[in-house]
């Protein structure tokens, strides 16, 4: 690492060469990605129901807020938002409703213990490393932008904890009985494992010569990320970053430039006064992380002539503060992408909001025009001869209008002075048209009323009818889910396993994931060692079906339990007690096991009997005679007559 710091020292020709090479690839990608920025911006506005305010709407708003006059405004009908969130609910139920989320199958005949260990370890990393929120956002981004991007890295968290402690005062090795408060710092090991993070499509720079689906076949891939100064210092302390002094000078210069001419009190700049600027500057450092497949000899970073992946970090596109080989056995860019449409040739895929926009705009127009016309119909419209009526009465907006005639109109036909227009609602069919467009939109996106939790049939329905209609409604989304599973989730699961096999070097007791905690006598935890997770593993794909209804599953198991209890052959093959416990927990009774009878081993029971703490129930005497002296030994007495059986004893 010291050699790299010297080679890429700021101001050298080699630093300039590497910086230009990295920066050129970023611009090459940005020129292509920029074509999509405007479309993504419109998708974001549609997602938040944003509509640019027109001049007429601004005038109405001023009259409504200042003058108190009721005025109509243009509405944005968020039907596309409802479609997207319904699809997102389905995807999260399918992918994140599994326990564990990432399920694996051994490729080389691994044992069941090894499978449990692998799933338990990855599930622990996803849960303890707060990886579930990025997965939710990942599935939302793919519907919102047409592409969802997620990154992963191996984190070995170490935190410095400072606390004030009392230290005894000493003089010549003798404690004086007094104490002095001092600050003690302790290095605490934190989370160790894979972490996930989301990437905005605006901040992503893939190789535009390949599609987003094949980003791993590109030459480079990177992202832009703002980072706080403390994080820069923390990574520099671990040896990951260098050229920090030059970055500090650039940051101080930029801060002084931004503060010039401000009304704040300026502190005089003196030599060694850099700490004051670091304390006052609250801005982030713009970092560019580029993962590039390079030939080290051509880049003068080694003698190898075989391509390998390196990661370069540029601060503010000027200073290289990080450069090192990726060093991961999976040898892939640490990014995974989801695309909404299974198109293998287009660089960019449409989002669900983009697909729904034309028809959503029609729905918005139909609803607004109907409301405009309805409001117009509610307002009285008259043709008035101002020479024959009192105009003050006509212009009075209060209800219960009384219009007075002038003296010269007494006894004449009032219709010659004032006449009301005939009002016809020409938009009365617009709401029916809205339903027609909504049905068309459901056919286009595959998100129908059943997926939104609405029943499209009148009257009562059986559970089977509801379940059948929902099943037919998810066929389109089922295919998209299978596409997600075969692309982004498979890539991500592979990198999670590869990182764990390479970097996990300890023994950890983790909770068994899923319903397999009842495996081997109900054990809940498993010691996972690096040897247990070795070998090849395949991600068990999601088939796109919703999780089984728990209530229906409990009913099915209840019927099976009744049949098992009546079949001696089945009872010989299955543990009825453990099946009962599992069904109870399936129904939501998490504490059923606390009611189990704990039976000690025979040796412990004999010791308790010798101490007089237990007595035999019946049927076996201490002298060996069947039931002979049970009562005499302090046991439960045998009744003289057992109903429907006969005499006892």
The residue with greater pLDDT, 235 or 468, is 235
With CA atoms as reference, report the closest residue to 342 among 212, 443, 219.
212
Q: 148 burial class (0-12, 13-18, 19+ CB within 10 angstroms)? A: buried
HEC assignment per residue over 26-74: HHHHHHHHHHHHHHHHHHHHHHCCCCCCCHHHHHHHHHHHHHCCCCCCC
pLDDT at residue 270 tops 60: no
pLDDT at 11: 87
pLDDT at residue 590 tops 70: no
User: Can you tell me the mean pLDDT for 324-350?
Assistant: 92
pLDDT at residue 630 tops 50: no
pLDDT at residue 594 tops 70: no
pLDDT at residue 290 tops 70: yes
The residue with greater pLDDT, 163 or 628, is 163
- How many whole angstroms separate alpha carbon 206 and alpha carbon 219? 9
pLDDT at 263: 42
pLDDT at 631: 47
Confidence of residue 137 (pLDDT cuts 50, 70, 90): very high
Which of 261-275, 555-569, 601-615 has the weakest average pLDDT?
261-275
User: Can you tell me the mean pLDDT for 487-513?
Assistant: 91
Structure tokens at 329: 């056995």
pLDDT at residue 108 tops 90: no
pLDDT at residue 621 tops 70: no
The residue with greater pLDDT, 156 or 597, is 156
- How many whole angstroms separate alpha carbon 582 and alpha carbon 578? 6
With CA atoms as reference, report the closest residue to 194 among 236, 142, 153, 144.
153
pLDDT at 616: 64
pLDDT at 122: 94
Whole-number average pLDDT of the chain: 81
User: Can you tell me the mean pLDDT for 257-271?
Assistant: 49
User: Can you tell me the mean pLDDT for 507-531?
Assistant: 74
- How many whole angstroms separate alpha carbon 235 and alpha carbon 482? 39
pLDDT at residue 628 tops 60: no
> What is the per-residue pLDDT across 439-486, written as a single tens digit (0 to 9) for each?
888 888 878 776 676 655 555 656 555 555 555 556 778 889 999 999
Which helix (DSSP H) or strand (DSSP E) does residue 626 occupy?
Answer: none
User: Can you tell me the mean pLDDT for 539-550?
Assistant: 73
pLDDT at 611: 76
The residue with greater pLDDT, 173 or 314, is 314
pLDDT at residue 225 tops 80: yes
> What is the per-residue pLDDT across 179-202, written as a single tens digit (0 to 9) for each?
888 899 888 888 899 999 999 999
Confidence of residue 354 (pLDDT cuts 50, 70, 90): very high
pLDDT at residue 417 tops 80: yes
Angle at 613 between CA 607 and CA 614, to 5 degrees: 85
Q: What is the pTM of this model?
A: 0.78
User: Can you tell me the mean pLDDT for 642-648?
Assistant: 48
pLDDT at residue 29 tops 90: yes
HEC assignment per residue over 526-582: EEECHHHHCCCEEECCCCCCCCCCHHHHHHHHHHHHHHHHCCHHHHCCCCHHHHHHH
User: Can you tell me the mean pLDDT for 541-546?
Assistant: 76
The residue with greater pLDDT, 351 or 408, is 351
> What is the per-residue pLDDT across 43-100, written as a single tens digit (0 to 9) for each?
998 888 776 666 666 666 666 666 655 566 777 888 899 899 989 998 998 899 888 8
- How many whole angstroms separate alpha carbon 180 and alpha carbon 164? 10
pLDDT at 265: 41
Residue in the structure block whose two tokens are 């409301």: 371
Tell me what percent of the residues of the chain surpass a pLDDT of 90. Answer: 34
Q: What is the Cβ-side half-sphere exposure of residue 266, based on CA atoms within 13 angstroms?
A: 12
Which of 157-161, 317-321, 471-475, 645-649 has the weakest average pLDDT?
645-649
Confidence of residue 648 (pLDDT cuts 50, 70, 90): very low
Structure tokens at 40: 């993504």
Which of 174-178, 241-245, 493-497 has the weakest average pLDDT?
174-178
User: Can you tell me the mean pLDDT for 92-117?
Assistant: 88
- How many whole angstroms separate alpha carbon 380 and alpha carbon 365? 24
């Amino acid at each position: 690492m010291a050699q790299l710091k010297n080679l890429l020292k700021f101001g050298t020709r080699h630093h300039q060469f590497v910086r230009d090479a990295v920066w050129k690839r970023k611009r090459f990608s940005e020129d292509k990605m920029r074509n999509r920025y405007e479309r993504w911006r419109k998708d974001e506005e549609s997602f938040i129901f944003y509509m640019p305010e027109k001049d007429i709407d601004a005038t109405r708003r001023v009259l409504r807020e200042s003058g108190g006059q009721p005025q109509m405004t243009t509405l944005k009908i968020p039907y596309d938002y409802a479609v997207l969130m319904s699809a997102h609910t389905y995807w999260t139920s399918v992918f994140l409703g599994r326990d564990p989320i990432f399920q694996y199958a051994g490729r080389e005949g691994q044992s069941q213990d090894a499978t449990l260990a692998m799933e338990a370890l990855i599930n622990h990393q996803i849960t303890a490393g707060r990886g579930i929120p990025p997965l939710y956002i990942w599935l939302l981004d793919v519907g919102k932008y047409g592409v969802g991007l997620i990154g992963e890295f191996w984190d070995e968290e170490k935190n410095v904890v400072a606390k004030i402690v009392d230290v005894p005062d000493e003089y010549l090795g003798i404690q004086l009985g007094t104490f002095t408060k001092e600050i003690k710092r302790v290095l605490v090991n934190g989370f160790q494992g894979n972490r996930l993070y989301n990437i905005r499509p605006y901040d992503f720079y893939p190789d535009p010569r390949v599609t987003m689906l094949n980003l791993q076949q590109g030459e480079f891939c990177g992202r832009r990320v703002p980072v706080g100064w403390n994080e820069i210092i923390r990574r520099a302390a671990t040896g990951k970053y260098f050229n920090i002094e030059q970055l500090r000078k650039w940051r101080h210069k930029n801060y002084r430039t931004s503060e010039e001419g401000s009304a704040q009190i300026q502190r005089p700049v003196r030599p060694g006064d850099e700490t004051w600027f670091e304390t006052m500057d609250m801005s982030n450092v713009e970092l560019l992380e580029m993962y590039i497949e390079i030939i080290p000899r051509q880049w003068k970073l080694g003698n190898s002539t075989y391509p390998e992946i390196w990661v370069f970090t540029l601060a503010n596109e000027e200073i290289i503060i990080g450069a090192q080989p990726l060093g991961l056995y999976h040898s892939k860019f640490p990014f995974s992408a989801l695309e909404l449409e299974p198109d293998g040739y287009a660089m960019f895929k449409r989002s669900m909001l983009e697909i729904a926009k034309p028809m959503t705009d029609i729905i918005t127009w139909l609803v607004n025009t109907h409301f405009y016309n309805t409001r117009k119909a509610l307002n009285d419209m008259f043709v008035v001869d101002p020479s024959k009526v009192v105009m003050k009465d006509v212009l009075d907006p209060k209800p219960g209008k009384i219009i007075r005639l002038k003296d010269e109109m007494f006894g004449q036909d009032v219709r010659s002075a004032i006449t009301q227009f005939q009002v016809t609602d020409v938009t009365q069919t617009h709401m029916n048209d809205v339903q027609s467009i909504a049905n068309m939109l459901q056919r286009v996106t595959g998100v129908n009323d059943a997926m939104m939790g609405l029943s499209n049939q009148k009257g009562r329905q059986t559970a089977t009818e509801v379940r059948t209609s929902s099943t037919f409604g998810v066929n389109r989304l089922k295919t998209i889910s299978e596409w997600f599973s075969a692309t982004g989730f498979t890539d991500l699961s592979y990198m999670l396993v590869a990182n764990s096999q390479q970097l996990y070097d300890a023994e950890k007791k983790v909770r068994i994931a899923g319903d397999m905690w009842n495996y081997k006598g109900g054990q809940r935890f498993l010691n996972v060692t690096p040897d247990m997770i070795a070998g090849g593993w395949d991600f068990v794909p999601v088939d796109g079906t919703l999780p089984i209804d728990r209530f229906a599953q409990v009913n099915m198991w209840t019927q099976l339990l009744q049949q098992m209890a009546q079949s001696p052959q089945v009872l010989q093959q299955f543990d009825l007690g453990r099946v009962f416990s599992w069904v109870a927990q399936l129904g939501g009774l998490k504490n059923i096991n606390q009611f189990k009878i704990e039976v000690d081993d025979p040796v412990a029971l004999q010791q308790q009997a010798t101490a007089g703490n237990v007595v035999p129930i019946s049927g076996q005497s201490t002298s060996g005679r069947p039931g002979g002296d049970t009562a005499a030994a302090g046991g439960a007495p045998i009744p003289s007559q057992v109903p429907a059986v006969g005499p006892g004893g």
